[in-house]
Structure 1
Amino acid sequence: MPSEKGKAFPAQRQSQPGKETQMAPRPASGEFEYHGSAKLKGKAALITGGDSGIGRAVALAFAREGANVAFAYLEEDQDAKETRDMVEKEGVRCLAFRGDVGREQFCREIVEKTVGAFGRLDLLVNNAAEQHYLESIEEISAEQLERTFRTNIFSYFFMVKAALKHLREGARIINTTSVTAFKGNPKLLDYSSTKGAIVAFTRSLALALGDKGILVNAVAPGPIWTPLIPATFPEEKVEEFGKNVLLKRAGQPVEVAHSYVFLASEGGSYMTGQILHPNGGTIVGA
Structure 2
Amino acid sequence: MSVLQVDHLKIWDSLTGRMLVTDSSFHLKQGECLAIVGESGSGKSLTCRALMRLNRPGLRQSGDIILEGINLSELPEKEIRKLRGKRLCMIMQNGMRAFDPSRPVGAHLRETLTVHTSHWSRTEMTKNVKLAMESVGFKDPTAVMGRYPHELSGGMLQRVMIALAIVLEPDIIIADEPTTALDAITQYEVVEQFEQLRSRLGSSMIFVSHDLGVVKRIADKVLVMKDGEIVEQGETSDIFSGANHPYTRYLVSSKLALQRHFKQLMGGERVAES
TM-score, normalised by the number of residues in structure 1: 0.35
Q: Name the one with the larger strand percent.
A: 2
TM-score, normalised by the number of residues in structure 2: 0.36
Q: Name the one with the larger helix percent.
A: 2
Which protein has the larger Cα radius of gyration, Structure 1 or Structure 2?
A: 2
